[in-house]
Chains A and B, each alone.
Chain A
Amino acid sequence: MSRLTALSASLLTALLATSGALAAEIPLDQRRSNNDFVSADTRAMQSDDTANPGMLAVLDGEAIWNAKGGGQSSKSCADCHGDAAVSMKGVAARYPAFSAVLNRPVDLEQRINLSRTSDQKAEAFAFESKELLALTVYVAHQSRGMPDAVEETAQTKPFIEAGRTLFERREGQLNLSCAQCHDENWGKKLSGSIIPQAEPTGYPIYRLEWQEVGSLQRRLRECMYAVRAQPFDYGAPELVDLELYLMWRARGLPMETPAVRP
């Protein structure tokens, strides 16, 4: 092989290997929690467990954890899983995770519903229902402070890539991609608010705009609506792929559930 061919071959290989490089990904050491981009008052609200309304949902979730599932098995989560502070520690930090049952990644809400239906023999909670949010925030809260541990494995890699494609794809009447705001313009202002990097380490969050706790899927749908795209339905595989990509993108950052965001 001539030197020129070898040089261009190695350059080509390098470019192909870093498939995301063209989209100006945030360097790992520059990633910062969304918490860094909110006002000091909002940060104070998050860090005070008596002022953080998300903690009320954590208490609701604890009650559901200990209550009988209402299904045929009449077991509570606690009956099998015991103290959530022990059994659920670190779990949310690994989600979305691959489900052997569904042969694809699922997010924490879906995983909880899988347990409800197959183990508790109870009805699944509706997406964005008060019960599902409370239980999810309670489980995710047990990982607060731990680093986001979503990894790329042979199983999850194609789904992470699918999520990345969605993240970088322009959509909607406004023809904007997530990456344009959150990779390329984070830290700058949009209509008086600072654009965060979109690291979802605090979900489910208490959002001031909602005046209640909500899921990452809700937030993603609202962002899609904002660029005038038809939002994916709750539970759609595209949303889970996107959640997976975002949580992988945030790997290493500390979990904050329940976060408080504007």
Chain B
Amino acid sequence: MARYNPSRRSVLQTAGALAGAGTFARISLRPALATPEMMQDAVRAAIGEAQVQKGKVKLDLPPLVENGNSVPCTVTVDSPMTANDHVKAIHIFNEKNPQPNVISVKLGPRAGKASFSTRIRLADTQNITAIAEMSDGSCWSDEVFVIVTLAACVEEPKP
């Protein structure tokens, strides 16, 4: 899927224009969101200087999520999972949540299949990246663009 990458500046400009035009703007006390740079730092912290290639990894996320609080997520890596050739670790990163890490999984040949599923939180429409570290030191990745729409109604905080 083509990478959608609006700059923070353009997003903020649009938001400002909408607010100025008197359109209903939801004011949220959200913390500063992660940036693509923070995500790159998190990737380096996880896998060091290894070069990341696209392929072998399949990241499954719904393209349009029902609710950002709980998004089903599955990663599957093409690997024979033998003692000599297996996935050592799988990491998932995001670009727009307050924090760039999502989960880091450690596997080995005992897994039989390099795949896991979980449920994650997504704070905004964004790109999600999964990176797999192989036993030979190579790193492979997949990236998915996900649109997040919140529930249609504005809910009151639980009394």
Contact with A along B130-159 (1 / 0, CB 8 A): 000000000000000000010111111011
Question: A226 an interface residue at 8 Å Cβ cutoff?
Answer: yes
- The interface-forming segment of B47-55, B61-69, B84-92 is B61-69
Q: Which residues of B contact A39 (CB under 8 A)?
A: 62, 66
A5-B151 Cα distance, complex, nearest whole Å? 53
Closest CB-CB distance, A48 to chain B, in whole Å?
A: 11
- Which A242-262 residues sit within 8 Å CB-CB of chain B? 262
Q: Which residue of A lies closest to B68 (CB)?
A: A208
State the interface size on chain B (CB cutoff 8 A).
16
A42-B64 Cα distance, complex, nearest whole Å? 13
B72 near A193 with CB under 8 A, answer: no
Contact with B along A205-242 (1 / 0, CB 8 A): 00011110010001001110110000100100000000
Q: Which residues of B contact A209 (CB under 8 A)?
A: 67, 69, 151, 155
Question: A24 an interface residue at 8 Å Cβ cutoff?
Answer: no
B151 near A45 with CB under 8 A, answer: no
Question: A38 an interface residue at 8 Å Cβ cutoff?
Answer: yes
A41 near B152 with CB under 8 A, answer: no
Q: Which residues of A contact B153 (CB under 8 A)?
A: 222-223, 225-226
Question: A27 an interface residue at 8 Å Cβ cutoff?
Answer: no
A101-B75 Cα distance, complex, nearest whole Å? 56
> DSSP majority for the B interface?
loop
Question: B70 an interface residue at 8 Å Cβ cutoff?
Answer: yes
Q: Which residue of B lies closest to A233 (CB)?
A: B159
Question: A119 an interface residue at 8 Å Cβ cutoff?
Answer: no
A208 near B66 with CB under 8 A, answer: yes
A234-B66 Cα distance, complex, nearest whole Å? 28
A225 near B62 with CB under 8 A, answer: no
- Which A87-137 residues sit within 8 Å CB-CB of chain B? 128
B70 near A208 with CB under 8 A, answer: yes
Question: A191 an interface residue at 8 Å Cβ cutoff?
Answer: yes
Q: Which residues of B contact A190 (CB under 8 A)?
A: 152
B66 near A225 with CB under 8 A, answer: no
A37-B152 Cα distance, complex, nearest whole Å? 14
Q: Which residues of B contact A234 (CB under 8 A)?
A: 159
Contact with B along A41-52 (1 / 0, CB 8 A): 110110000000
A223-B156 Cα distance, complex, nearest whole Å? 9
Q: Which residue of B lies closest to A206 (CB)?
A: B70
B70 near A192 with CB under 8 A, answer: no
Given A208-B67, A209-B67, residue A191 in contact with residue B72 (CB < 8 A): no
A211 near B149 with CB under 8 A, answer: no
Q: Which residues of A contact B159 (CB under 8 A)?
A: 128, 234
Closest CB-CB distance, B147 to chain A, in whole Å?
A: 8
Q: List 23 A-B contacts (CB under 8 A).
A: A39-B66, A41-B62, A41-B72, A42-B66, A45-B72, A128-B158, A190-B152, A191-B152, A192-B64, A193-B66, A193-B149, A193-B151, A209-B67, A209-B69, A211-B69, A218-B158, A222-B153, A222-B155, A223-B153, A225-B154, A231-B156, A234-B159, A262-B151
Residues of B within 8 A of A (CB): 62, 64, 66-67, 69-70, 72, 149, 151-156, 158-159
Name the 8 nearest CB pairs between A and B, nearest first.
A226-B153, A192-B149, A191-B152, A262-B66, A208-B67, A208-B70, A41-B72, A262-B67
